[in-house]
């Protein structure tokens, strides 16, 4: 959902944001999902809150979590929060650190880098600004000497394209040329970081083999020059064919990137090594046949750490994720200190993964580019690694205490001790009570429904497989019409559909479809058989129509007393929009010579033995006069029960409605007041015009929301009753 949020520096709204706003205003239910729900600005997050509840926030630039906390609009969970529930699908990752000693050629390049006297506006000034220029060049050097050489050449072209460089610029050109000469001396053999990686991959300690199609590598670097050099060098040193290594970066089109991702996720594809820029660090699933991720250079953003690692360390990873970091040890003190700062970032990311959940809590900016800038400032201002570590810890402690900025307050909470794992909790679905069914499972119902609808398989072609709990159906014309609402790739070209109630077989079908080539059908041929599948819903509607309107079956059960009558009924209380707010299933029972009583549906089902296949149909047409004669009294009994429930329920809804309307009045007044304060410094004519236009928008939003609330929470005065069946002893 972050793609539809307003951005801090954005003028106006994007087309995506306008579309989301239109859809939100026409939806009764809206759920927004995102791993990065904001860009660090209050306005960005407020725009998402406005989609959920346009009345919640008065001033999108100045608000607190208290403005919407009680509305239940936000839920945030980290891996650590659900780890105890999905232990089999969230493997604990293993971190590997390789730290080779810099080669003499690299040490010379580091010293030459520190000797560069950078200029701005033709003048060398020194201080923090020059240090930021040095840090930017150093960032390229930390990626690879080849990336640094490209940056150096770009800087030289900039300085020499003018008519007459200043003396300071001439000095910088000389320094840059000296730096470039040292970089040119670094080749694959003297590139210590690459040599250590090469040795690791060839050694038994890695356990990696290019011949294993289910064990692939993802290598990240933020510089394209580094990736291109790695592609050529790795292909030679690892003896890879052209099809076994691929490069993925932001200059590729969306379709080209998607094709590479799909290739990497197919077992039969020869691709073994994927070299990625950070364009692949967010939102891509690379974990199917890959559990090894290599940071060839370290990101300068904690958010990018999390995004990169999340490509293989994610839900559904079958192997232990292995995250490998490459550092460099150097004798040049200043460079050693700055490299140590990057090591601290890696340690903080590991700390967040184990205990905290959100690495962004260390830097408080919630934007990768801003995090890079902040780390650059740490280095440019000369902070020691110890000072940087203390600063990050202090900011994180501030977040834990909920005393940081509004975003930290918003997502604060958790255990008092961040190193303490949450106590194991029951699965949330354990609290959901299964509704009593007349059938053993969904497969049994579908098979019985098909048998009842088309025993001769004339107008409806179908077959079942009890061993595999599978059903195959050829859709008749009315079902074909209903399935038109589904996406085109879901619909079968020959109208033949296969469903299965076995989750494992469906999972295998999904995996098989994912392995298909792009030109093949990539939608699973096997659908999961569950109540909300469109074909199952169609079957339910078809079975209901067998009885006709205002008709219900009569069932004879030997579990009931002789002469006992029971009417299975459903009572429903809708709102003004016809949506059910209260549904109650009851059975109106009468024992011989006794008054009518109500019995809960689930209790009666057990007592009467109402299970599919348990009560034979003798085919006898017994007189129904007694049952029909008792029906009006039974309906009256159920109506009285539902009126009582409707009265009590309506009172609760009315209390809730009045409270909500009062809140809306207060919020509308607050927004109008905020508008007045915002416009008070404008010219009178401009202020009146803008106030009239904006207040009209506020009034329209609140009127529409108020009407929606009234229609949703106001109950209809008369309950709806339906007789579902009669059961006799």
- Condensed to tens digits (0 to 9), the pLDDT of residues 456-492 reads 788 999 999 999 999 999 999 999 999 999 998 899 9
CA distance 593 to 590: 8
Task: Give me the numbers of helices (H) and strands (E) for the chain, helices first please.
Answer: 22, 15
Question: Are both 198 and 326 inside the same structural domain?
Answer: yes
Placement of tokens 């008065």 in the chain: 58
β-strand pairing of 322-326 with 461-465: unpaired
Asked whether the predicted pLDDT for residue 10 surpasses 70, the reply is no
| Residue 88, in any domain of the structure | no
Question: Are both 218 and 311 inside the same structural domain?
Answer: yes
| Residue 595, in any domain of the structure | yes
Helical packing angle, 368-380 and 127-143, nearest 10°:
120
Helical packing angle, 104-114 and 167-184, nearest 10°:
170
CA distance 201 to 208: 6
Asked whether the predicted pLDDT for residue 102 surpasses 60, the reply is yes
Q: What is the pLDDT of residue 401?
A: 56
Instruction: Choose between 429 and 116: higher pLDDT.
Output: 116
| Residue 425, in any domain of the structure | no
The percentage of residues in the chain with a pLDDT greater than 90, rounded to a whole number, is 54
Q: Which of 156-170, 470-484, 571-585, 672-686 has the lowest mean pLDDT?
A: 672-686
Q: What is the pLDDT of residue 447?
A: 96
Instruction: Give the 3-state DSSP-derived string for 286-340, with helices as H, strands as E and coil as C.
Output: CCCCEEEEEECCCCCCHHHHHHHHCCCCCCCCCCCCEEEEECCECCCHHHHHHHH
Question: Are both 251 and 392 inside the same structural domain?
Answer: yes
Question: Are both 396 and 248 inside the same structural domain?
Answer: yes
Q: What is the dihedral of CA 615, 619, 621, 626, to 10 degrees?
A: 0
Q: What is the pLDDT of residue 430?
A: 55
| Residue 371, in any domain of the structure | no
Q: Of 436, 413, 725, 415, nearest to 566 (Cα)?
A: 725
Among 210-219, 355-364, 385-394, 416-425, top mean pLDDT goes to 210-219
Q: Which of 58-72, 105-119, 605-619 has the lowest mean pLDDT?
A: 58-72
Asked whether the predicted pLDDT for residue 272 surpasses 80, the reply is yes
Asked whether the predicted pLDDT for residue 580 surpasses 90, the reply is yes
Q: Of 718, 706, 563, nearest to 626 (Cα)?
A: 563
Question: Are both 585 and 503 inside the same structural domain?
Answer: no
**pLDDT one-digit tens code per residue, 346-388:** 998 888 777 655 666 677 677 788 899 999 999 999 999 999 9
Alpha carbon distances (Å) from 103 to 96, 145, 188, 294: 22, 12, 11, 21
Question: Are both 581 and 686 inside the same structural domain?
Answer: yes
* For residues 494-514, average pLDDT: 93
CA distance 526 to 529: 9
Per the CB < 8 A criterion, the answer to whether 295 and 217 are in contact is no
Question: Are both 620 and 694 inside the same structural domain?
Answer: yes
Question: Are both 720 and 579 inside the same structural domain?
Answer: yes
Q: What is the pLDDT of residue 645?
A: 94
Q: What angle do CA 481, 482, 486 make, to 5 degrees?
A: 105
Q: Is 616 exposed, middle or buried (0-12, 13-18, 19+ CB in 10 A)?
A: exposed
| Residue 692, in any domain of the structure | yes
What backbone torsions phi and psi does residue 47 show, to the nearest 5 degrees? Answer: -65, -35
Placement of tokens 């009582």 in the chain: 644
Question: Using 50, 70 and 90 to split pLDDT, how confident is the model at 85?
Answer: confident
* Domain termination residue (choose one: 136, 169, 184): 184
Contacts 24+ apart (CB under 8 A), 708-712: 709/657, 709/660, 709/661, 709/664, 710/576, 710/657, 710/661, 711/575, 711/576, 711/577, 712/28, 712/575, 712/576, 712/577, 712/579
Query: Hey, what are 486's tokens?
Result: 């589904």
Q: Of 114, 112, 106, 173, nearest to 145 (Cα)?
A: 106
* For residues 17-24, average pLDDT: 89
Beta strands in 170-297 (DSSP E): 216-220, 245-248, 273-276, 290-295
Q: What is the pLDDT of residue 415?
A: 42
* For residues 131-149, average pLDDT: 96
| Residue 437, in any domain of the structure | no
Q: Which residues contact 185 (CB under 8 A, 6 or more apart)?
A: 105, 108, 109
**pLDDT one-digit tens code per residue, 669-707:** 888 887 888 777 777 777 788 888 888 888 888 888 889
Q: What is the pLDDT of residue 360?
A: 67
Query: Hey, what are 215's tokens?
Result: 């064990």
Question: Are both 166 and 44 inside the same structural domain?
Answer: no
Q: What is the dihedral of CA 56, 58, 64, 67, to 10 degrees?
A: -30
Question: Are both 341 and 480 inside the same structural domain?
Answer: no
Q: What is the pLDDT of residue 411?
A: 47
Q: Residue 330 — left, alpha, or beta (φ > 0 → left; ψ -120 to 50 → alpha)?
A: beta
| Residue 470, in any domain of the structure | yes
Question: Are both 209 and 228 inside the same structural domain?
Answer: yes
* Domain termination residue (choose one: 516, 545, 574): 545
Q: What is the pLDDT of residue 271?
A: 96
Q: What angle do CA 69, 73, 78 make, to 5 degrees?
A: 95
Q: How many domains does the chain have?
A: 5
Q: Which of 454-458, 480-484, 602-606, 721-725 has the lowest mean pLDDT?
A: 454-458
Q: What is the mean pLDDT of the chain?
A: 87
Question: Are both 334 and 405 inside the same structural domain?
Answer: yes
Asked whether the predicted pLDDT for residue 409 surpasses 60, the reply is no
Task: Give the distance, in angstroms, between the CA of residue 58 and the centroid of all CA atoms in the same chain.
Answer: 28
Asked whether the predicted pLDDT for residue 714 surpasses 80, the reply is yes
| Residue 432, in any domain of the structure | no
DSSP character at residue 688:
H
Q: Which residues contact 203 (CB under 8 A, 6 or more apart)?
A: none
Strand, coil or helix: what is 206? Answer: coil
Per the CB < 8 A criterion, the answer to whether 589 and 566 are in contact is yes
Helical packing angle, 127-143 and 145-160, nearest 10°:
140
* For residues 328-341, average pLDDT: 96
Placement of tokens 């990311």 in the chain: 349
Placement of tokens 């999108």 in the chain: 60
Asked whether the predicted pLDDT for residue 298 surpasses 80, the reply is yes
Asked whether the predicted pLDDT for residue 28 surpasses 80, the reply is yes
Asked whether the predicted pLDDT for residue 448 surpasses 90, the reply is yes
Asked whether the predicted pLDDT for residue 423 surpasses 60, the reply is no
Task: Give the distance, in angstroms, between the CA of residue 588 and the centroid of all CA atoms in the same chain.
Answer: 47
Per the CB < 8 A criterion, the answer to whether 460 and 453 are in contact is yes
Q: Which domain holds residue 401?
A: 94-98+191-365+384-410
Instruction: Choose between 216 and 694: higher pLDDT.
Output: 216
Asked whether the predicted pLDDT for residue 398 surpasses 80, the reply is no
Q: What angle do CA 39, 354, 88 make, to 5 degrees?
A: 105
β-strand pairing of 496-500 with 526-528: parallel
**CATH number of the domain that 198 lies in?**
3.40.50.300
Instruction: Choose between 272 and 489: higher pLDDT.
Output: 272
* Domain termination residue (choose one: 157, 184, 211): 184
């Amino acid at each position: 959902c972050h793609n539809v949020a307003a951005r801090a520096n954005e003028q106006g709204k994007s087309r995506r944001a306008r579309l989301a706003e239109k859809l939100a205003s026409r939806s009764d239910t809206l759920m927004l999902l995102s791993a990065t729900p904001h860009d660090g600005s209050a306005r960005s997050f407020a725009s998402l809150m406005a989609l959920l509840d346009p009345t919640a926030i008065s001033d999108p630039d100045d608000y607190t979590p208290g403005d919407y906390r009680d509305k239940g609009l936000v839920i945030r969970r980290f891996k650590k929060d659900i780890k105890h529930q999905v232990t089999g699908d969230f493997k604990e990752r293993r971190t590997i650190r390789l730290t080779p000693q810099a080669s003499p050629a690299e040490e010379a390049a580091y010293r030459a880098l520190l000797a560069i006297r950078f200029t701005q506006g033709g003048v060398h000034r020194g201080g923090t600004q020059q240090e930021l220029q040095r840090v930017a060049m150093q960032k390229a050097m930390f990626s690879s000497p080849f990336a640094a050489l490209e940056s150096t050449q770009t800087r030289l072209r900039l300085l020499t394209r003018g008519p007459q460089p200043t003396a300071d610029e001439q000095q910088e050109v000389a320094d840059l040329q000296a730096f470039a000469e040292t970089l040119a001396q670094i080749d694959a053999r003297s590139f210590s970081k690459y040599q250590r990686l090469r040795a690791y991959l060839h050694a038994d300690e890695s356990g990696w083999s290019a011949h294993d199609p289910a064990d692939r590598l993802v290598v990240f670097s933020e510089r394209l020059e580094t990736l291109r050099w790695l592609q050529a060098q790795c292909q030679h040193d690892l003896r890879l064919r052209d099809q076994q290594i691929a490069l993925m970066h932001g200059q590729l089109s969306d379709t080209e990137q998607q094709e590479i991702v799909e290739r990497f996720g197919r077992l039969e594809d020869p691709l073994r090594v994927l070299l990625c820029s950070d364009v692949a660090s967010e939102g891509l699933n690379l974990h199917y046949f890959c559990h090894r991720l290599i940071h060839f250079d370290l990101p300068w953003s904690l958010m990018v750490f999390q995004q990169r690692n999340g490509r293989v360390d994610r839900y559904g990873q079958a192997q232990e994720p292995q995250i490998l970091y490459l550092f460099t040890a150097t004798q040049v003190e200043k460079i050693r200190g700055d490299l140590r700062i990057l090591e601290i970032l890696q340690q903080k990311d590991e700390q967040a993964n184990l205990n905290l959940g959100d690495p962004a809590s260390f830097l408080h900016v919630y934007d990768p580019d801003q995090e890079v800038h902040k780390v650059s400032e740490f280095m440019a201002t000369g902070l020691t690694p110890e000072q940087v570590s203390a600063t990050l810890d202090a900011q994180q402690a501030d977040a834990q205490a909920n005393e940081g900025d509004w975003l930290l307050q918003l997502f604060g909470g958790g255990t008092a001790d961040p190193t303490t794992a949450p106590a194991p909790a029951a699965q949330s679905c354990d609290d959901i009570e299964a509704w009593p069914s007349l059938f053993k499972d969904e497969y049994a119902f579908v098979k019985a429904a098909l048998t009842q609808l088309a025993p001769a398989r004339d107008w409806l072609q179908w077959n079942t497989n009890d061993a595999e709990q599978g059903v195959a159906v050829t859709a008749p014309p009315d079902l074909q019409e209903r399935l038109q609402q589904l996406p085109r790739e879901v619909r079968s070209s020959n109208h033949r559909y296969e469903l299965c109630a076995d989750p494992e077989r469906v999972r295998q079908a999904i995996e098989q479809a994912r392995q298909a080539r792009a030109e093949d059908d990539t939608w699973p041929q096997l659908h999961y058989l569950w109540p909300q599948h469109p074909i199952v819903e169609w079957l339910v509607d078809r079975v209901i129509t067998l009885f006709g309107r205002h008709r219900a079956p009569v069932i004879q059960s030997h579990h009931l007393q002789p002469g006992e009558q029971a009417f299975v009924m459903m009572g429903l209380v809708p709102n003004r929009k016809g949506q059910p707010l209260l549904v109650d299933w009851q059975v109106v029972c009468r024992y011989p010579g006794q008054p009518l009583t109500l019995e809960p549906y689930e209790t009666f089902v057990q007592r009467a033995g109402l299970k599919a296949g348990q009560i034979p149909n003798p085919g006898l047409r017994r007189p129904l006069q007694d049952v029909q004669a008792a029906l009006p009294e039974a309906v009256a009994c159920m109506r009285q029960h539902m009126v009582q429930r409707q009265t009590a329920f309506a009172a609760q809804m009315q209390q809730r409605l009045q409270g909500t309307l009062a809140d809306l009045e207060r919020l509308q007044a607050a927004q109008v007041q905020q508008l007045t304060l915002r416009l008070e410094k404008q010219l009178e004519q401009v202020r009146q015009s803008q106030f009239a236009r904006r207040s009209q928008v506020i009034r329209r939003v609140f009127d529409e929301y108020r009407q929606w609330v009234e229609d949703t929470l106001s109950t209809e005065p008369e309950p709806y009753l339906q007789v579902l069946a009669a059961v006799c002893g």
